[in-house]
Chains A and B, each alone.
Chain A
Amino acid sequence: MSRRQHVLILYLESSALDSRVIAWSNYDGSGRSRHMAGDQDEPPYKTGLHAMRDGWRLFQASTLNPHTPGDEFRTGYLKYEFFFEQLVTADE
């Protein structure tokens, strides 16, 4: 029996873990489930905290960076990105 990483990425409405999920991605290293762009219209959890309560372990959070002078109003990538994992058993 070997273990694989199942990664859930949640993009939240703010830097607070209990804020609303606005975008999400799901990558299952066990191969049991397959996810792709556009496959779900509703997020798997309401907030990041709801994912933690369901056993997802947070292992990375985006940092809060100071704003570059002159570039304060430019928007780009989603700002509040949180990586969660579960270790799952893979079929041999």
Chain B
Amino acid sequence: MSNAELLKTTDMARFAAQGYLRLDGVVPESLNEQFLKDIGHEDEIGSALEHYQRIMGRSAIPIVPAGTSLNDAYPNDSALAKILALPRVAGAIESLVGGDCVVDHHFLHITFPPKLLEKPAPSQHTHQDSTIDPRRAFDVQIMYFPHDVTEDMGGTRFVPGTHLRIVSEAAISRYQNIRGQQRMVCPAGTLLFVHHGIWHGGGANRSDEMRYMFKIRLAPTRRQQRLWDTRDLDTRAPQRPIFWLGQPPEEDDVHTILTTKQPWHEQDTGRLEYLNAARFWRYLTGDDTFDADYWLTRVENEPQ
């Protein structure tokens, strides 16, 4: 029997609305150390090129063909296999893309400190992986931070709630800063799960330390419907009063989660984000009658 700890409905609704799930320090230190050893990290680094070539040549990260079952991708004794089997990690994967998902690709991102470079590297432009992708089904990308990431190390930057926007990869590179953007500052062993559509970019490393981030993109092989712990799911909850409320909405209510304004929302398209989040929730629950705060009912109301 699986020991996976599936996500709760509120976790899943937050993922649907914000496009990310963060598990801080979920990987124990012993596995972080094993991972750094597996990739060939050394405390003393002569030059960036030499270190990069050593890691590429000697790393224990396997070469995995696209479409390989996640269950077959990593040797059982590897740090990665053990990390992916941690109950909270396995549960998040199972909830989001199913336990029978496949690996699209993985990659070790290495961001060198200025002292190892001739010229400090700038941050990465804002982008969406990997090409224009209008599907309702979704892939997840797991970003693994095997060591502490401080503010000056330039941890991955991302913009919550951008994942349902249909754009074409680097076409958004013109956008330097967006209200509500977050940067990963986190303890060792943190995993960030993101919907494939989230707008993101790597930060500039201004510290004296190396920064590693290992990314795995996973694709579902089954319909992503009610894969989480749905015991607390109630899609038939009645509609609430809207606008004129009398009191603040309950923050853990799915309707509230799906209709929460992001700091970057435009006045009009921010409302479209609520509609799109409610439609995404319909997809995830398989309930085409679901609505959050009447946004869909209003525009679907065509009495015959």
Main secondary structure of the interface of B (DSSP, over half): loop
Docked-complex contact A78 and B266, CB < 8 angstroms: yes
Docked-complex contact B179 and A19, CB < 8 angstroms: no
Give the residues in chain B near A79, CB-CB below 8 Å.
266, 268-269
Docked-complex contact A14 and B267, CB < 8 angstroms: yes
Given A22-B264, A39-B123, A43-B179: A75 touches B273 (CB 8 Å cut-off): yes
Q: Is A68 an interface residue (CB 8 A)?
A: no
Give the residues in chain A near B66, CB-CB below 8 Å.
none
Q: Is A86 an interface residue (CB 8 A)?
A: no
Give the residues in chain B near A35, CB-CB below 8 Å.
176
Q: Is B178 an interface residue (CB 8 A)?
A: yes
Give the residues in chain A near B266, CB-CB below 8 Å.
12-14, 22, 78-80
Docked-complex contact A75 and B269, CB < 8 angstroms: yes
CB distance from A46 to the nearest CB of B (A): 12
Give the residues in chain B near A40, CB-CB below 8 Å.
176-177
Given A36-B176, A79-B269: A23 touches B201 (CB 8 Å cut-off): no
Q: Is A30 an interface residue (CB 8 A)?
A: no
Give the residues in chain B near A77, CB-CB below 8 Å.
165, 167, 171-172
Docked-complex contact A23 and B276, CB < 8 angstroms: no
Interface-central residue, A14, A21, A35, A37, by most chain B CB under 10 Å = A37
Give the residues in chain A near B166, CB-CB below 8 Å.
74-76
Contact with B along A30-69 (1 / 0, CB 8 A): 0000011111110100000000000000000000000000
Q: Is B203 an interface residue (CB 8 A)?
A: yes
CB distance from B184 to the nearest CB of A (A): 11
Docked-complex contact A23 and B179, CB < 8 angstroms: yes
Docked-complex contact A37 and B126, CB < 8 angstroms: yes
CB distance from B172 to the nearest CB of A (A): 7
Docked-complex contact A22 and B123, CB < 8 angstroms: no
Docked-complex contact A75 and B272, CB < 8 angstroms: yes
From B172, B178, B181, B276, contact of A75 by CB (8 A): B276
Interface-central residue, B122, B263, B267, by most chain A CB under 10 Å = B267
CB distance from A81 to the nearest CB of B (A): 9
Docked-complex contact B183 and A38, CB < 8 angstroms: yes
Give the residues in chain B near A80, CB-CB below 8 Å.
266
Docked-complex contact A23 and B264, CB < 8 angstroms: yes
Docked-complex contact A25 and B164, CB < 8 angstroms: no
From A13, A43, A73, A76, contact of B177 by CB (8 A): A43
- When C-beta atoms are compared, the residue in chain B nearest to A34 turns out to be B122
Give the residues in chain B near A22, CB-CB below 8 Å.
178-179, 263-266
Docked-complex contact A76 and B165, CB < 8 angstroms: yes
What separation, in Å, do the CA atoms of A80 and B179 have in the docked complex? 14
What separation, in Å, do the CA atoms of A9 and B177 have in the docked complex? 10
Docked-complex contact B269 and A25, CB < 8 angstroms: no
Interface-central residue, A22, A23, A74, A80, by most chain B CB under 10 Å = A23
Which 8 A-B pairs have CB atoms at the shortest separation, nearest pair first? A25-B176, A23-B178, A38-B157, A14-B267, A36-B122, A37-B123, A22-B264, A36-B123
What residues make up the interface of B, taking CB atoms closer than 8 Å to A? 122-126, 154, 157, 164-167, 171-179, 181, 183, 201, 203-204, 263-269, 272-273, 275-276
Give 22 CB contacts A-B under 8 Å.
Answer: A11-B178, A12-B266, A13-B265, A13-B267, A14-B266, A14-B267, A19-B267, A22-B263, A22-B265, A23-B175, A24-B177, A25-B177, A26-B176, A35-B176, A37-B157, A38-B157, A38-B201, A74-B272, A75-B164, A76-B165, A78-B266, A80-B266
12 extra A-B contacts, CB within 8 A, seeds A25-B177, A38-B176, A38-B204: A19-B267, A22-B178, A22-B179, A22-B266, A23-B178, A24-B176, A25-B175, A37-B126, A38-B157, A38-B203, A39-B123, A75-B164
